[in-house]
Every structure is written in C-alpha cells, then in structure tokens.
Structure 1
Amino acid sequence: MKSSLFIAVALTALILPSAAFAQHAGHEGHGQSTETASPAPVNADDPHTGHGSMDHSAMDEDVSPGPLSETSAPPEAGSGPPRAADKIWGTDVMAHARHKEHGKHGNFPVLWVQADRFEAQLRQGNDGFLWDLQGYYGNPTSKLWLKSEGEGEFGEGVEDAEIQALWSKAVDPFWDLQLGVRQDVAGPSTTHAVVGLQGLAPYMFEVDAALFLSHRGDVTARIEGELEQRITQRLIVQPRAELVLSAQDLPQLDIGSGIDKVELGVRLRYEIIREFAPYVGVEQTWHVGNGADFRRAKGKDPSTTNYVVGIRFWF
C-alpha cells in the first residue's frame, strides 16, 4: 500500500512540471510548437552570437540607422537651376527677398565706440594722462574705423596725439585689412598713409598692427597686443604689450631707428555693467637705442613706470 502511494506521488511530481512548462511555452510562442532546438554554441568574437547570444534585431527596428547608414543623395540632386524660384515668383521679387534675408542674418550696419584706455598715470615726477579711443560704423565685412590716441602731463598739456580714419575690409573670419590716413595733431604736424591688420590671433590675443609712411618719407610701425582673462564674470585681468619700430632716426619726434619703444603692462578691471568698467594697473615703458639718447638729451627719462587708474567703456 505504502509503495503504491509512493509511486503515485512520484509520477505526479514528474508530470505536473512538464505540463506547466508545455502550457507556458505555448503562450510564449503564440500557438507555435513547444519543441525547441538545441542552443548553438556561443562565440564571444562573433558579433551575432556574443553577449549572451541575444538577438537585438527586434530591438533595433525602430532606431535610426544613423548618418553612416542613410541612403546617399540621388545623382540628380543639385542639377537643377540655381535660381529655380525666379521662374515662379520673378527675378526682382526673389532678389528683394534674398537681400532682406541677408540683412536679417548679420549684414546690417552697426555703430560701435570704445574707450579701451582712458586713464591717469601716476609716476615719479609729473603725473600724466592717456586716452586710446576707437570705433567703427559698418557691416561685418566692411567698416569705417576712427581711432584716436594721445598722452601728456598734467599742467604741461598734450605731448603726443593722433587721429586715424581707416577703411576696413575682412580678409579672414578673424582679421581685417585696414587702409587710411593718420594725422598727428600734437608735436610736429605729420600726415601718414596707413596700412594695418587688426584681428584675433590664436589663444584669443587681440592684435592691432600698422605700418605708417609719413609725407616726409619716414617709415614707422606699431604693434599692439592684449589678452583678456576672466577671473570671475565681472573681474577681468588684461595684460598688454606694445612695440614701436622705425626705419630711420627721427630726432624731431624722439624716435630712433630699429626698436624704439617697448611697453608692457597689466590692468585689472571690474565691470559694474558690461559697458562700464573702472580699472587699476601698472605699466612699464622703455625707450631704447637712439630713441633713448634723444630723450636724455632733452632731459627726459627713457624708462618710466606708471601706476594707472582709469575707466573702460563702450556703447
């Protein structure tokens, strides 16, 4: 009796799990046969069988194949007329529409004026002052520039001053070629033809280089460079360098041939608003070569340290 009961229980334990598995497989296969094939061996180097032999084809059906798998443009693409819309709307209408859209995307005139340096210079002896103003009116590729720069001593008046009027043309996305005239309005009256290059060098260095030919045939050059580094959103440190060169001695202007002046400085400014920023700084100027001798002959110091306080603004 006990052996018969044991056999019945054992058969039930074998039959019930098999039946449950068969029923579950029928639901998973939506009525398909419950017979299964032996799994294929997994090759980890095979992209179709690696990663647990998972079949991702069903998962990727709704995913974009990406730009490398998309169908290339047909051969006839771009073979039509370049101004096909002109035949529908007319040449005049489309020319006006293109000009209007061009203007909306940056090709419109802009007026911009900036005082890059407008400062008092505190130094041993007589304190001085300096201004460096520039501005332009024009579009991104063609502008009229006006520049003015000068310096002097308090109580002594203006020592050097100049005004430049330049036509500027973009020759590269970050560089403008400038042609024009410079007039010295303090010291010996001199008119110069100007050829310059102004723009943004690698690592965000702002460069302004110019070659001057005076009406007397004198050739001089000036290269200025500066870099703005933000410490915070409003606090900015600005190193600056200037180099003045001459092809000949100009005793009447205290300029010597070769490298005449080297100027290095740094300014720290705080932007109260973006358009208005007071600053403090220090600047060292060296006159070298014959230029230093000309200055000594007139009782001037060829080397000067200036502590500067000023305002930088633009609109």
Structure 2
Amino acid sequence: MKTSTWTALACMIAFGAPVAAQDYADAYYPPEAMNAALEAVRHETGGQRQFYFQANRFEYRSDDETQSLAWDINAWYGGRLNRLWIKSDAAYDLDSGAFDEARLEALWSRAISPYFDVQTGLAHDFESGNGRTHAVLGIQGLAPYWFEIDVATYLSDQGELTGAAEVEYELLLTQRLILQPRAAVSWSADAIPDLDTGSGFTDIQAGLRLRYEIVRQFAPYVGVEWTRQLGDTADYARAAGADQDTTALVAGLRVWF
C-alpha cells in the first residue's frame, strides 16, 4: 500500500476515527508502517521547526524633558510545543548618550494549552554599575477576546524578587489601519535603593499606537504613552528632582518575519 494511504489511515486514527477503523488499520498494516504514517501526520500538523522575529516596538520617543530610542524585540525558534525565546527591551537616552535600561532574556517555552505557554530561563540587565542576572518564570499567551498577555517574575542574583505584567490588544479600524492599546505594570517585593526602586507597585504604563501596514510585515506607527511612578518609587523620583509621571509622543516601526 502507498504511503499516502497509510497517512490517510493515520489521520483517521489521530483525529478521532471510530475504534473499528483503527482496528481495521492495525489488522492490515504492520506496526512499523502505521508508526511511520503517524509520525508523518505529527510532522505535517505542527512538528516542523520554525523561526520567527518581531520588533513589536522600535521607536523614537519625546517628552517634556528627554528624547530617547526604545525597542521591544522578541524572536523564537522551535515547534508547536517547545521553543527557545529571545527577548530584548531597552531605552537609550539621546541627551545623555546612555541606556536608561536594557534587558536581554533567553527562555525555554513550553505550550500548556492551545493559547498559553509557560516560560523559564535567564535574564540580564545591562546597567552600568548595577547589572543583574535574573532567574525568570512567566506565562505568555492569548486570552479570551484576543488580549495578548505576558506576565513574568524575576529573582535576581542579589536575592531581589520583582515582576511585570503587560497586556496588548489590536483593534482593526480597516484591514491595514490598526489601533493598538497597551498597558503594563511592574512591582518589587522589597525596596532596591541602588535602582531607586521602592517596594510594592513601582510604575504603570499605558499607551496607544496607530499603525498602517504597508505590508503585513512592515508597519510605521505613531502614538502616545503615559508613564507614572508609584508608591515609594515615586518618592525616589521626587527626591531626585524628576517627574513622577510623563507623557511621551512616539513614532516608530513594527516589523516581523
């Protein structure tokens, strides 16, 4: 019998054919042929290894005090169940010529449902004099009503426990014009004076970005983002003479392949 026939029979078995059909296939085809057909089905329905790259945000930002460049980049390689994720986010102050923040994460991701992955790995902050390496545990996925959610907890090599949660949504105004609301909140279990960070919720961000997809993989956008320091972290900012809340205009590109 041709391999295509074995594959068809394997599909019947893999996707819920009646027991009689499975018994029939097992009775007439040797086990090695059935196993090969099942492996072919698994490969063709999600077993391939793929690569994905996305610069979700690559933007210029301007507020009342500073001008900066920021990015939020992620990439993954793997199959449907297991993937290696690389994430990077940073903000570069154009006035001082230094990074306000820069983080790189390497994570193993395992699907725990059709819509959610659990992720664990390492992250490193590239801050002059205050660099830290973190163990990471998080969950990422697509919630009901198509909200994209990314929640992570970080335990640093200094014993500091912090975390962040982010949610995004895409509202299609037309087939190419898309409004993307985004909100994020960060927290710290303890005060971290070296980083001017207090305990509890440390800051909140809320933004809107309007992009136009020239092609699906390439979309310029404009928007606005509001940031507010919270609790003891706001006290640190106030003592340093900095604003506790800022509103920035942004313009950038969203790219993926």
Report if the CA contact (8 A) 2:75-2:87 is conserved.
Answer: yes
Match for 1:163: what amino acid? L
* Structure-1 residue corresponding to 2:214: 272
Paired-residue identity, %: 42
* Structure-2 residue corresponding to 1:225: 167
Shift of 1:276: 0.3
Question: Aligned pair 1:163/2:104, yes or no?
Answer: yes
* Structure-1 residue corresponding to 2:87: 147
C-alpha separation in 2, matches of 1:298 and 1:92: 71
C-alpha separation in 2, matches of 1:78 and 1:117: 49
Question: Aligned pair 1:91/2:27, yes or no?
Answer: no
Match for 2:154: what amino acid? F
Question: Aligned pair 1:115/2:55, yes or no?
Answer: yes
Shift of 1:189: 1.2
Where relative contact order (Cα < 8 A, 6+ residues apart) is larger, the structure is: 2
* Structure-1 residue corresponding to 2:226: 284
User: Which has the higher mean CA deviation after the structures are superposed, 275-284 or 253-262?
Assistant: 253-262
* Alpha-carbon displacement from aligned partner over 1:136-184 (angstroms, at most 9, x marks no partner): 1111111111000011210322111011111111111111111111111
* Alpha-carbon displacement from aligned partner over 1:117-138 (angstroms, at most 9, x marks no partner): 1000011122111100001111
* Structure-2 residue corresponding to 1:190: 132
User: Which has the higher mean CA deviation after the structures are superposed, 287-296 or 86-95?
Assistant: 86-95
* Alpha-carbon displacement from aligned partner over 1:258-283 (angstroms, at most 9, x marks no partner): 11001011000000000000000000
Shift of 1:92: 2.3
Secondary structure of the residue aligned to 2:238 is helix
C-alpha separation in 2, matches of 1:118 and 1:196: 23
C-alpha separation in 1, matches of 2:19 and 2:84: 41
Question: Aligned pair 1:300/2:230, yes or no?
Answer: no
Change (3 A) 1:236 1:93: same
Shift of 1:84: 5.4
Aligned length: 239
Q: Which sections of structure 2, spanning at least 5 residues, go unmatched? A: 1-16
* Structure-1 residue corresponding to 2:179: 237
Q: Which sections of structure 1, spanning at least 5 residues, go unmatched? A: 1-76
After the TM superposition, list the runs of 4 or more consecutive aligned residues in structure 1 that deviate by more than 4 angstroms: 77-84
- Normalised to the residue count of structure 2, the TM-score between the two structures is 0.88
Shift of 1:87: 5.2
Q: Which of the two has higher C-alpha Rg?
A: 1
C-alpha separation in 1, matches of 2:90 and 2:231: 23
* Structure-2 residue corresponding to 1:180: 121
Match for 2:53: what amino acid? V
Shift of 1:289: 1.1
C-alpha separation in 1, matches of 2:23 and 2:73: 46
User: Residues 66-81 of structure 1: matches in 2 within 5 Å?
Assistant: none
Change (3 A) 1:95 1:306: same
- Normalised to the residue count of structure 1, the TM-score between the two structures is 0.72
* Alpha-carbon displacement from aligned partner over 1:202-255 (angstroms, at most 9, x marks no partner): 111100000111111111110000100000000000000000011111111121
Report if the CA contact (8 A) 2:165-2:186 is conserved.
Answer: yes
Which of 184, 194, 200 does residue 252 from structure 1 map onto?
A: 194
C-alpha separation in 1, matches of 2:232 and 2:179: 34
C-alpha separation in 2, matches of 1:307 and 1:278: 14
C-alpha separation in 2, matches of 1:244 and 1:198: 16
- For the aligned residues, what is the CA RMSD? 1.7
